[in-house]
Structure 1
Amino acid sequence: MKILKILSFFLLISFSVHSQTEKGRMLLGAGTHFGFSNGIGMMDMYFTNTTREFADGTSEERSSYNIFFAPKVGYFLTDNLAAGIDLAFGWGKTEIPLTDFSVKANNALFGAGPFVRYYVPKGKILPFAEVNSIFGNQRTRTDMIGDTEGNTGITNIGGGFGLALLLGERSSFDLLLNYSSNSANFESDGFYTRQNTFGIKFGYTIFLGK
């Protein structure tokens, strides 16, 4: 009898986990990304302060920050396989105090693109793989002697492997080891930049329906 109860318990858990990622359900998520470099395209969360000291005894300080927020909405096309839309929002600022004046740059980013995520139901911790892309625009306003504005086209393609730690029956905390390739087209300045970054994504997902 005791063995039967134990088997029933594990079957109940397996059914509950599988039902979260079954065909016809939806997922809503939100997260951010911590990269191993500040990167281009504002798709990292970072806060930095840099001091340069010169041979003549003078120094220059540079401080910058960026806040990145990435919501998503998806639909399970089959059991464990979801596809949907990623959104990207970023706000950042860089300030360089100089002797006679300071340089300030304010940035804003918006982008969107498709994603695909596949879960492997394994109990209360679900391994998953994800690929995604973001296509957007970064607007920069620079205050030096006069104000100038510029727009930069941003393309991000990435993917990685992660773990979804289930929090009850309808939500999870997600941890993803991510690789991304960022491209920025500085059309007004006449050059194109690409950067590859490894980083860690943190997120929260809610499962809806059924």
Structure 2
Amino acid sequence: MKKFLLTLTAVAGLTAASQAQEFGFEKGNFIVEGNFQSSNTNDKGTKAKTSEFNFNPKAGYFVTDKIAVGVDFGFGQDKKTTYAADIKTVATDKNFGVGAFGRYYFLEVGSRFKTYTEVGVGYMNEKVGEKKVGDVKTDAAKFNGFGANAGIGANFFLTEKIAVNFAFADVVSFGSRKADVDGAKAETEFNTNVNVFNNFFNTAKFGLTFKF
């Protein structure tokens, strides 16, 4: 009987602890999250190498239980190394961006899965086409621009404080950039993706969200 009572008490305690966990956000919470992508190739036959990375950290504050506002940053580099007649060529592109976002959580699927829509605006700086052939270096072309986007995403809570973030895709996006030279004209781009709900895992970015 004593063992039975101890077992019953332990099960009741675990059940209560599980039920006490609350997955989600509330007014006053802070979040920090980020998405990181990288790839590297190395062709030992031609000695050609490529390396690419993009890192997008975010920080936000919940002004209500369902609405968060915050800032985000972006850093990226694409580097290619090739050889021709033993002459080494290194081509490098770099980008940096900073922006602001607003996020609204509109649907809960179970207790752990929270879906949201997000809008953002940002400024970007790009350095494209920097090249070094042997000892001869060519400076990169510089571009400045801005953009805006609206998309969807979701958080799946692993614990009360940590969630996996799925940034599925941009439903609408607009961008404009201009070379940093006198007389340059802007290049603009506008995209819509009305089929996003059928193929968002093809374009999704995955990361972690930390709640404080």
Does the TM-score normalized on the shorter chain lie above 0.5? Answer: yes
2:4 is matched with which residue? none
How do 1:12-51 residues align onto structure 2 when only pairs under 5 Å count?
A: 12=19, 16-17=22-23, 20-32=24-36
Percent of aligned positions with the same letter in both sequences?
A: 25
Match of 1:207 in 2: 211
1:74 aligns to what? 60
Q: Which is greater in Rg? A: 2
Kindly tell me the number of residue pairs found equivalent between the two proteins: 178
- 1:156 maps to 2:147: yes
- Name the TM-score, length of structure 2 as normaliser: 0.67
Query: What is the distance in 2 between the residues matched to 1:157 and 1:115?
Result: 10
Structure 1 stretch displaced more, 143-152 or 125-134:
143-152
Tell me the residue number matched to 1:37. Answer: none
CA contact (8 A) 1:86 1:132 kept: no
1:172-195 Cα distance to aligned partner (Å, 9 max, x none)? 101122124443322339354344
Choose from 116, 119, 131 the match for 1:142: 131
The higher-RCO structure (CA 8 Å, 6+ apart) is 1
1:141-191 Cα offsets, whole Å, 9 max, x none, are: 322443323321132322211221101101110112212444332233935
CA distance in 2, matches of 1:174, 1:137: 26
Match of 2:98 in 1: 112
Q: 1:132 to 1:183 in 2, by over 3 A?
A: same
Find the aligned partners of 2:28 and 2:49 in 1 and give their Cα distance: 47
Q: Cα 1:201–1:110, aligned 2, differ >3 Å: closer, same or farther?
A: same
Following the alignment from structure 1 to structure 2, what is the Cα–Cα distance between the partners of residues 185 and 100? 36
Deviation at 1:63, TM superposition (A): 6.7
Cα-Cα RMSD: 3.5
Give the alignment's TM-score, normalised by structure 1: 0.68
Question: 2: CA distance between counterparts of 1:203 and 1:177?
Answer: 11
String of CA shifts for 1:86-132, please: whole Å, max 9, x gaps.
Answer: 11111221346557956532222221110111123441111111112
Residue 182 and residue 48 in structure 1: after superposition, are their counterparts in 2 closer, same or farther (change >3 A)? farther
Paired residue for 1:129, among 82, 106, 117? 117
Distance 1:159 1:48 in 2: 33
Q: Give 5+ residue unaligned stretches, structure 1.
A: 34-44, 50-61
* Structure 2 spans left out of the alignment, 5+ residues: 1-11, 43-47, 194-202
How far the C-alpha of 1:65 sits from its partner, in A, is 4.2
1:187 aligns with 2:176: no
**Deviates further, 73-82 or 92-101:** 92-101
Equivalent residue in structure 2 for 1:93, among 79, 82, 86:
79
